[in-house]
Structure 1
Amino acid sequence: MNKKFNIQTILVAPLDWGLGHATRCIPIIQTLLNNGYTVIIAATGKQKILLQQEFPSITFIELKGYQISYSKSKFFLPLKIITQIPTILSAIRYEHQWLKKVVEQYHIDLVISDNRYGLYHSTKPCVFITHQLTIKMPFYWLEKLVQKINYRFINQFSACWVPDFEGENNLAGVLSHPQKMPTTPVHYIGLLSRFSTQEVSEIKYDYCIVLSGPEPQRTILEEKILAAIDTVKATILLVRGKPDSQEIFSTPKHITIKNHLANKELNIAMQQSNYIICRSGYTTVMEVLSLQKKSILIPTPGQTEQEYLAKKLMQQQWCYSVEQQYFSLQQIISTAENNEYDLPTLQTNSLATKIAVLLKSL
């Protein structure tokens, strides 16, 4: 137990931007529980539903999200985000005041915030989790301005944990390794993956398609896949990324569609697949690479971070990538075996040790 602050109760709060922030908190939450800490989770919507399925006995607090909306066109997305800055700043101010009340009510000793900028406290240690110390923007001057604002918030926290490796053999490139760092202590904690490599008796699927990310782009990609899925001969598992849905689909025997799969089920399903088709969201990429699976990445249109990551990893032959506007399920399947891969061996089992050390340093 941490004697400096006598840490016993820890609040974990992921951002409501897709499911990635919630899923990458799973190994952190599990590590904390394994070490005897009391964990309280603050979340809303699909993120809350997903985490409740993984941790049904944990206390949950409703915390409204930033509720960022996306455009259907990638070209208008930056403008769409910029117009929502007042709403985002309002949400940050709200959660900062919200935290003051919650700390007192639930006797919180430590806050772990995954990209929620307002969850810092004047008397309690607070950790900010992000892989984006650099937030990619379409213009250099805008990127520098956004980084300055980003650091202004990050520097309010006691520490910043970056889910990546510290050296040159890292995953996120300039996103997590900028030239200029925040003044608050930055610690690289390695990859965050809820999955572990397990022996599977057989390959069950040719392709496991995992949908994720914000609307409307999740649905747009899903519609492209569903329009073509009955015409392909490959065995396919489609995981829709909708833990709040009960929808049932009628499909041929070689096609399986699931609204959502729990952690262990998805872990096994991905390892029973030859290829993973998914977004190039950072959390998804961490999970796929931790299992050393061949992947075909489809960046969310307009999300410069995902576009950068997919391009970088394809150049390293860690994945294959295709833009959504050019994505064809039939073409991907017909050419998949021609893609060249040089998958890395990445260490993923040191999280517990690193967290124990970092908690003592707060």
Structure 2
Amino acid sequence: MPSVFLAVKKERKIVDEIIEKEHILGVISDNRFGVRSKKVPSVYITHQLQVLSGNTTYFTSKVHQKIWEKFDECWIPDTASTPNLSGKLGHLQSSKFKLKYIGILSRLNYFKTTLKYDLLVLLSGPEPQRSILESKVLTALKNYQGKVLFVRGALKNAAALQTAENIEVNNYLLSLDLEKAINESKLVLARSGYSTIMDLAVLGKKAFFIPTPGQFEQEYLAEKLSKESIAPFSTQDKFKIEDLKKANNFKGLQAIKSELNLNLFELFKGK
């Protein structure tokens, strides 16, 4: 906690210096606690109005609420009503604060193309869990007959992998290559992080999720999408390659139609 508060203090100072130097009219913070200023309107973007942390969920949610209430507005990348992607994470029963739902956000775009891969494995997240999942999935893929694109989410200097001929391996992909790869894939196996879910929704993909162990948000989102018959999931320790067949009985992710309300930016004309 002390390091967090020190980082917030440093961010506030840097932001004020930038505002003065560059004549900034407003600030939009992507989950950065200290990226705000009293000099200009400041907006906080988050899908975590409630922060799931097990037994401490009430406490962590209240602390986070105190943080985003210091901003002029809070924008949530989701829809206000059902259907929605974030569930209880991004929706409160009541709030006195000004919350604005701005629709699903993604840097990726859908385009019609020929399917090249039966399976796209998209790894991400902190170590050692990324490597543990990588090893487990590669072992499981020994009995998989389809064409696979395996994106490790690792640095350039990561050790090379020895795989079967039906598996194409990349350490990582930049945005345009990732967009192309997902559009060309029939099924995506990935962590159930919210940004990943939004990307797959915009591209209208079928998915299979393996939440990172101990990350309550990912576990909740995976369970939510499974209950809604959108995408199946498995815990990391119990995953088997046969589980991927379950996706055939799920409808897949679809973008929830919404248009970005450009009136949102009227806020920055106020001062």
Counterpart in the other structure of 1:315: 227
CA shift for structure 1 position 116: 0.6
Counterpart in the other structure of 2:108: 195
Query: Is 1:245 the equivalent of 2:161?
Result: no
Counterpart in the other structure of 2:117: 205
| TM-score, normalising length: structure 1 | 0.69
Task: Map Cα deviations across residues 165-218 of structure 1 (whole Å, 9 max, x no partner).
Answer: 0112111111111123262x2110110112222110x22111001111223322
Counterpart in the other structure of 1:103: 19
State the alpha-carbon separation in 2 of the partners of residues 297 and 317 from structure 1.
13
Query: Is 1:331 the equivalent of 2:242?
Result: yes
CA shift for structure 1 position 163: 0.4
* Amino-acid identity (%): 35
Letter in 2 for 1:147: S
Query: Is 1:236 the equivalent of 2:148?
Result: yes
State the alpha-carbon separation in 2 of the partners of residues 250 and 324 from structure 1.
22
Counterpart in the other structure of 1:218: 130
Query: Is 1:166 the equivalent of 2:80?
Result: yes
Task: List aligned pairs for 1:1-362, cutoff 5 A.
Answer: 85-139=1-55, 142-181=56-95, 183=97, 185-200=98-113, 202-242=114-154, 244-247=155-158, 248-328=160-240, 330-333=241-244, 335-336=245-246, 339-343=248-252, 345-348=254-257, 350-351=259-260, 354=261, 356-362=262-268
Q: Tell whether the 8 Å contact from 2:206 to 2:251 is kept in structure 1 after alignment.
A: no
State the alpha-carbon separation in 2 of the partners of residues 298 and 348 from structure 1.
26
Q: Tell whether the 8 Å contact from 2:231 to 2:253 is kept in structure 1 after alignment.
A: no
CA shift for structure 1 position 278: 0.3
State the alpha-carbon separation in 1 of the partners of residues 252 and 172 from structure 2.
27
Structure 1 residues 340 and 262 mapped into 2: Cα distance closer, same or farther (>3 Å)? Answer: same
CA shift for structure 1 position 233: 2.1
Moved more, 298-307 or 342-351: 342-351
The alignment covers a number of residue pairs equal to 267
Q: Tell whether the 8 Å contact from 2:212 to 2:219 is kept in structure 1 after alignment.
A: yes
CA shift for structure 1 position 241: 2.1
CA shift for structure 1 position 277: 0.2
State the alpha-carbon separation in 2 of the partners of residues 233 and 266 from structure 1.
23
CA RMSD of aligned residues (A): 2.0
CA shift for structure 1 position 230: 4.2
State the alpha-carbon separation in 2 of the partners of residues 182 and 324 from structure 1.
39
State the alpha-carbon separation in 2 of the partners of residues 308 and 279 from structure 1.
12
CA shift for structure 1 position 298: 0.7
Task: Map Cα deviations across residues 263-285 of structure 1 (whole Å, 9 max, x no partner).
Answer: 22212211211110000000101
Structure 1 residues 128 and 182 mapped into 2: Cα distance closer, same or farther (>3 Å)? Answer: farther
Q: Tell whether the 8 Å contact from 2:192 to 2:211 is kept in structure 1 after alignment.
A: yes
**Structure 1 runs not aligned, ≥5 long:** 1-84
Letter in 1 for 2:68: I
State the alpha-carbon separation in 2 of the partners of residues 306 and 182 from structure 1.
27
State the alpha-carbon separation in 1 of the partners of residues 24 and 157 from structure 2.
35
State the alpha-carbon separation in 1 of the partners of residues 12 and 235 from structure 2.
38
State the alpha-carbon separation in 2 of the partners of residues 295 and 261 from structure 1.
18
CA shift for structure 1 position 301: 0.8
Structure 1 residues 179 and 186 mapped into 2: Cα distance closer, same or farther (>3 Å)? Answer: same
Q: Tell whether the 8 Å contact from 2:205 to 2:254 is kept in structure 1 after alignment.
A: no
State the alpha-carbon separation in 2 of the partners of residues 182 and 155 from structure 1.
10
State the alpha-carbon separation in 2 of the partners of residues 98 and 266 from structure 1.
33
